[in-house]
Amino acid sequence: MSSRIIPVPAFDYVVFGATGDLTKRKLIPALYHRFKDGQFDENSRIIGASRSKLSEADFQKTAREAIGQFVEKEYQDQAVIDRFIKIFTYVPVDASKPDASGDLGAALRDDPKIVRAFYLAVAPDLFEPIAEYLHSKKLYRRDARVVIEKPLGHDLQSSIAINDGVSKIFQEDQVYRIDHYLGKETVQNLLALRFANTLFEPVWNSAHIDHVQLTVAESVGAGTRGYYDESGALRDMIQNHMLQLLCLVAMEPPASDEANALRDEKLKVLRALRRVTNGDVAKNTVRGQYRGVKSETVSVAGYQDELPEDKKGSRTETFVALKAEIENWRWAGVPFYFRTGKRMAERVSEICIQFKPIPHSIFDHAEGAPKPNKLIIRLQPDEGVKLLMMIKDPGPGGMRLREVPLNLSFAATFSERTPEAYERLLMDVIRGQQTLFMRRDELEAAWTWVDPIREAWDRSTEPPQSYTAGTWGPSGAVALIERDGRSWYEGDNS
């Protein structure tokens, strides 16, 4: 069964930062796939804008090269690419010197039926100047949309300043704060799993769930990316991606799938999170930093080895584990464990919901004790949903209990290609659908919870715990969960 492609209205999509890495790696390939699938056609325009003095032909060549490099060969159709490239145009724009910029207005169509969207794939300190530039050049419309990328600040106050700058021009219903994790098919399926079935919702509470684990592990290192040392794993992953996942797991059923109904419920979760105060930080959080490993068969640099000389000795964390609690009726007493890091044993993003043990076992003489049921929602790779259950192992040799999965693999179930997150999110902007984008009060609530952890770490004299590249993190992360009589889920054989 193929998914139904719902066309979007014609649009003018202006991409600021058009020559940057994000545009080449994600935005152009995502727009190509949507064009190839017929979601929009030659009536739309993609307008590159940056400080670089490029011609339209130069930008079209860049777009063609991006498709050649970042789109799988099996999906590269030269006839489609030729048609797609024709909708690209380019205008040199320097928001700090608007009088020296090209005429962006001439590239935009003055037709209210043409959706106007601005994607700010630039550093946050340029958000406000670009918004003011659009207003001064009379390119702002009340129905226009603006997409802004993280990092949206490094703490609550800087986040407020960035959003204040954008909101001088754009109203909240025009602002799309993008988090690509929310565009993943499996994340959206978490909503369907919970609210389109009667099976789980009656047991989705503290009476039946023992604890929840959220893991986002990367096998790659931080490399030489300078921004990472300024952010670290807490700001880079916990504050946005992982807290958004927590909200989808823990929120109450919204009244509808309308954007603000869903975001209202997410906000309630963030506001119900128990603050990790200074006295609890040492007990409920662990920060780590990977060290290198060198042998005859493998050589991996440590984080310190990858830093420039002026950054040596950095205490930036490349790993975080923490324990959180939600203080409301549904989740009182249920711990939520977060774990994320660079240079870990494998690349995996998943949510493990572990149910409570059976209250009484009648299988006293069985081989193999009953294990608690687990619901595993895997976001990447091998996207799918898996329910681990106990069954009798076949055979006449008595009662032998065995844990087996009921497995829904997206790749096996759906034969068609699964769209990337940016494909869905870019088209949602054109639709005017804000469900999968963060509202300002959500963002600020997340910073309000994260900031005390960061401040306590900054005051501490303890450095991040060291862990070997290619492992599951420092020993403190194991101790964090095992103190509670639990263990990290690391596959069906854990």
What is the secondary structure of 36-68 as a DSSP string?
HTTSS-TTSEEEEEESS---HHHHHHHHHHHHH
Rounded CA separation 300/295 (Å): 9
3-class DSSP state of 23: helix
Structure token pair of residue 245 = 């996942």
Up-side HSE of residue 392: CA atoms within 13 Å toward CB?
Answer: 8
Rounded CA separation 278/108 (Å): 52
- The CB-based long-range contact list for 311-315 (8 Å cut-off, 24+ gap) reads 311/229, 314/229, 315/289, 315/463, 315/464
Up-side HSE of residue 135: CA atoms within 13 Å toward CB?
Answer: 15
Backbone angles phi, psi at 228, to 5 degrees: -65, -40
**Cβ pair 223, 325 in contact under 8 A:** no
Rounded CA separation 195/187 (Å): 13
Alpha helices in 432-486 (DSSP H): 440-459, 475-482
Q: Please state whether the peptide bond connecting residue 151 to the residue before it is cis, i.e. omega within 30 degrees of 0.
A: yes
Rounded CA separation 191/447 (Å): 24
Q: Given the residues 33, 241, 360, 365, select the one marked as catalytic.
A: 241
Rounded CA separation 94/97 (Å): 5
- Residue 208 is a catalytic residue: no
* Residue found under tokens 């549904």: 330
Q: 386: which strand partners?
A: 376, 407
Positions marked active-site: 241
